[in-house]
Amino acid sequence: MQKALSEAKHSIFMVMYLISLDRQDKGSRVFRLMDELARAKQRGAEVKVILDYQGGSGFTADKTNYEAFRFLKDRGIEVYFDNAGVITHNKAIVIDKRIVISGSHNWSDAALQRNNETSFLIESPELARQLLDEFSRIRLSGKEIEEGACVNLPYRAMQKDGVVQEMLRRHDERGFDIWLLLLRDFDGNDKGLVNTNYEVLAEGLGLLKDMDRVAYRREINRLLRRLNRLYKLVEAEMQFNQPFRVKMVRKAEEEGFGIPRAYWDYGWDRRLSLNAKVCLLINLAELGRRAEPWEWKLTREQIAEKYGISRYAVYSGMKVLRDFNIIDIQYGEIDKGYQERMPAVFRFSGLYDMREFEQGLRQIESLYGKDLVDRARDYAFVVYKGFDLDSIEKVAGLINRYGEDEVDEAFKTVEMKNPDNPKRFLGYVIGILARKQQLGVVSE
């Protein structure tokens, strides 16, 4: 394997479930393999690595893979974690689009030296092409943030007495939306002028379908005046039925965080409630201040206090994001009671194209049938995975394996638990069914 990596001329694409790297042990086989990736990058080869992110399971592969992530990132290598809600169990490498290395080996001292493992090196451009096509469909955590395809929002806007808190207090969703649209269309010019027009803003606000030209221009003028006079965010000059001029009010060199352009490109600005939009910004703001990728920890009370919003706004907004599988929430154990539980862990899974989700859903329906998949998705919603294709397919498989009566009973047991109970997740359902099978209560 090391020899093949050392001979790579053009590209190395790797998807690996686990890399157990000790940076201090430079003589280990894992370090030598990682060093070959860095050397290939230095030679000018394209190197891309996708690692599994398993923070929500008992086996914390992400804590191991994080060292490898930082090692590769520090050397300028393109490296990502997969979606937090999916297990990527691949151990495969494609070199120069013609050589494939795949098998059971993780990159760990145990796998490379002690375990009984088998992997193959195959020279096949066709197999390489198929694997690269599969790699391209792996959903990545926070890819939009990592690639910098973002709109900058100042941290000060999120402060306890900031403008976001004020807009939420006033239930001013349209004011919130048009402000973000102006930020999206601002190119950073020194004069602060926004290159936009009535039609662009009307389209962004969803007004073209509901209002005629006069009505939506009047509404946009009203919103711009509010941004100008009430929130002090823009300087706007408008005359009825005439082109307008908008200038952003900014402070020099303001520190901020990124809003992925996928927020607009994939229609999340239309799909999410105002509470959910604010909670999305909270997630992005928290992630922007942390070195550990795509996760952060606070209690609901701490979030409400820090950002000056109600606990209900936090609860309802985060729930919508969780239901859509934009974030994953791992709640602390409650063995010692709710008062002593650890803060929840929030993980950003990313913003996705709903059309791709629907296409994936149709593929699952072609395997299991639409009626079965509809029932499986209803069950998946119980554990907040109704928009997670892997979970939906897994539930469909459980129905086929154990029967719907047994699956229904297991999900009813889980559904009785509070939304913030750490046992309200799919793994607990699977555990119930597995234990009943061991006891002979259900059969395959």
What DSSP string runs through 199-238?
HHHHHHHT-TTTS-HHHHHHHHHHHHHHHHHTS--EEEE-
pLDDT > 70 fraction of the chain, expressed in percent and rounded: 89
Q: Is 171 a catalytic residue?
A: no
The whole-angstrom separation of Cα 182 and Cα 178 is 6
The whole-angstrom separation of Cα 61 and Cα 88 is 11
Active-site residue (options: 41, 48, 91, 143): 91
Residue range 292-312: average pLDDT?
Answer: 88
Q: How many other β-carbons are positioned within 10 Å of the β-carbon of residue 174?
A: 18
Strand pairing category for 234-237 and 150-154: unpaired
User: At 62, is the pLDDT very low, low, confident or very high (cuts 50, 70, 90)?
Assistant: very low
2-141 CATH: 3.30.870.10
The whole-angstrom separation of Cα 185 and Cα 3 is 49
The whole-angstrom separation of Cα 87 and Cα 390 is 9
Question: Closest Cα partner for 69 from 21, 2, 13?
Answer: 21
pLDDT at 415 over 90: yes
pLDDT of residue 85: 57
Residue 226, Cα to own-chain centre: how many angstroms?
Answer: 33
Please, are residues 99 and 132 in contact by the beta-carbon 8 Å criterion? Answer: no
- The larger pLDDT score, comparing residue 412 to residue 83, is at 412
The whole-angstrom separation of Cα 93 and Cα 100 is 6
pLDDT of residue 183: 94
Strand pairing category for 46-51 and 78-81: parallel
User: At 239, is the pLDDT very low, low, confident or very high (cuts 50, 70, 90)?
Assistant: low
Residue range 64-76: average pLDDT?
Answer: 82
Please, are residues 91 and 16 in contact by the beta-carbon 8 Å criterion? Answer: yes
pLDDT of residue 376: 97
User: At 203, is the pLDDT very low, low, confident or very high (cuts 50, 70, 90)?
Assistant: very high
54-58, 72-76, 158-162: least confident range = 54-58
Active-site residue (options: 89, 171, 336, 370): 89
Asked whether the whole model's pTM tops 0.75, one would answer: no
pLDDT at 145 over 60: no
Q: Which two tokens stand for residue 103?
A: 């098998």
Residue 59, Cα to own-chain centre: how many angstroms?
Answer: 20
Q: Is 371 a catalytic residue?
A: no
- The larger pLDDT score, comparing residue 112 to residue 268, is at 268
Rg (CA), the chain: 25
The whole-angstrom separation of Cα 240 and Cα 246 is 15
Residue range 219-232: average pLDDT?
Answer: 94
Question: Closest Cα partner for 222 from 240, 209, 203, 208?
Answer: 240
Task: Tell me the pLDDT tens digit for each residue of 247-294.
Answer: 998 765 678 888 988 899 899 999 999 999 999 999 999 988 765 557
Please, are residues 127 and 93 in contact by the beta-carbon 8 Å criterion? Answer: no
Element (H, E) at 76: none
pLDDT > 90 fraction of the chain, expressed in percent and rounded: 55
User: At 39, is the pLDDT very low, low, confident or very high (cuts 50, 70, 90)?
Assistant: very high
User: At 242, is the pLDDT very low, low, confident or very high (cuts 50, 70, 90)?
Assistant: low
The three-class DSSP label of residue 381 is helix
- Enter the DSSP assignment of 155: G
User: At 330, is the pLDDT very low, low, confident or very high (cuts 50, 70, 90)?
Assistant: confident
**Angle of the 354-368 helix axis to the 370-382 helix axis, nearest 10:** 120
Active-site residue (options: 52, 96, 269, 388): 96
pLDDT of residue 349: 80
The whole-angstrom separation of Cα 33 and Cα 36 is 5
Strand pairing category for 11-16 and 46-51: parallel
Q: Which residues of 203-219 are buried (b: 16+ CB within 10 A; e: fewer)?
A: ebbebeeebeeeebbeb
Which residue do the tokens 């297991």 mark? 410
pLDDT of residue 114: 79
Q: How many other β-carbons are positioned within 10 Å of the β-carbon of residue 276?
A: 22
DSSP class per residue in 320-375 = HHHHTTSEEEEPPP-TT-GGGPPPEEEEE-----HHHHHHHHHHHHHHH-HHHHHH
pLDDT of residue 70: 80
User: Dihedrals φ, ψ of 321, to 5°?
Assistant: -65, -40
DSSP class per residue in 265-291 = HTTHHHHS-HHHHHHHHHHHHHHHT-S
pLDDT of residue 84: 60
Q: How many other β-carbons are positioned within 10 Å of the β-carbon of residue 137?
A: 8
pLDDT of residue 57: 39
Fold of the domain built from segment(s) 274-348? Arc Repressor Mutant, subunit A (1.10.10)
